[in-house]
Amino acid sequence: MNTEAIISKIRQQYALIFEWHKENGYATIERIIDSYHTSKRYSTLDEDESNKIEEYKNRQIKEYKNALDMPHPENANLEEMYLVARKVQSGILEWNYQVIIADDKICLGHIAKNIIESYKELKKQEEVEQLKDSFYEVTDYYVQSEYEYFEKSDEIYKNILLDNDRNIGGRVVIADTNWEIQKLSNNNEQVFFRKPITLHLKEIQGEFDNLFQLAFNGEISITKIIVQ
């Protein structure tokens, strides 16, 4: 299911929650009040404890009323609809979790659960797309050894800086860092070649004679030199 279809589905289900609370939401306040006054424990409290319970009840009612101020389904964004669903499933609106909507023969809690699952599915799709952007085009290469990996990495990262004098620099750092992540991924022998920015490294294009030339050009800064 594509993104637009998922959002449309969420919006339709959110509308059911919105309409029910718009028509019946305030009636729940009486249930909240009755839940305190009909409690056997409530009748045995001393004045101090009773006052504390009363304050808590009033805060809960206030929070519930605030939750009823929902954005209209036509204007609500994805995050707002998800937040309302969370409140129905395990928040202040959970008072109405078991309410059955006659026409749909489904409870509000189940509708909220569907919204949450659809929201997570959508976020997962977004993460996959973002992940694709963080890889080079060659992402399905399989290697049998570390040697084969670094041989392939020279090809993938060929446009990234390499210090010709000492065979160290951006290309080596990126390849090493990517290999360490690869070993931790437990993805069998499939290799993903991550872009430098994904590895929190700066990509510097081209080749230079040595690191000092690179520093002179302002691409890197050298803070310490040890002479041996």
Of the chain, the percentage scoring pLDDT greater than 90 comes to 24
CB-based burial, 17-32: b 16+ in 10 Å, e otherwise? bbebbeeebeebeeee
The per-residue pLDDT of the chain, averaged, comes to 75
Q: Report d(CA 181, CA 131) in Å as an integer.
A: 14
Mean pLDDT over 184-210 rounds to: 58
Mean pLDDT over 222-228 rounds to: 50
Q: Report d(CA 27, CA 90) in Å as an integer.
A: 19
Enter the DSSP assignment of 106: E
How many residues belong to the chain? 228
Q: Report d(CA 15, CA 49) in Å as an integer.
A: 40
Enter the DSSP assignment of 219: S
Dihedral over Cα of 165, 171, 174, 176: its sign: negative
Q: Report d(CA 68, CA 72) in Å as an integer.
A: 11
- The answer to whether 170 and 219 are in contact (CB under 8 A) is no
Q: What is the pLDDT of residue 175?
A: 80
CA distances from 225 to 82, 131, 201, 211, 228 (A): 54, 38, 22, 12, 10
pLDDT band at 166 (very low <50, low <70, confident <90, very high): very low
Cβ neighbours of residue 88 under 8 Å, at least 6 residues apart? 17, 94, 96, 97, 108, 109, 111, 112
Residue with tokens 């990495």: 153
The C-alpha R_g of the chain, in whole angstroms, comes to 29
- Domain segments of the chain as ranges: 3-132, 141-216
Name the residue with higher pLDDT: 115 or 52: 115
Name the residue with higher pLDDT: 73 or 42: 73
Which pTM was predicted? 0.56
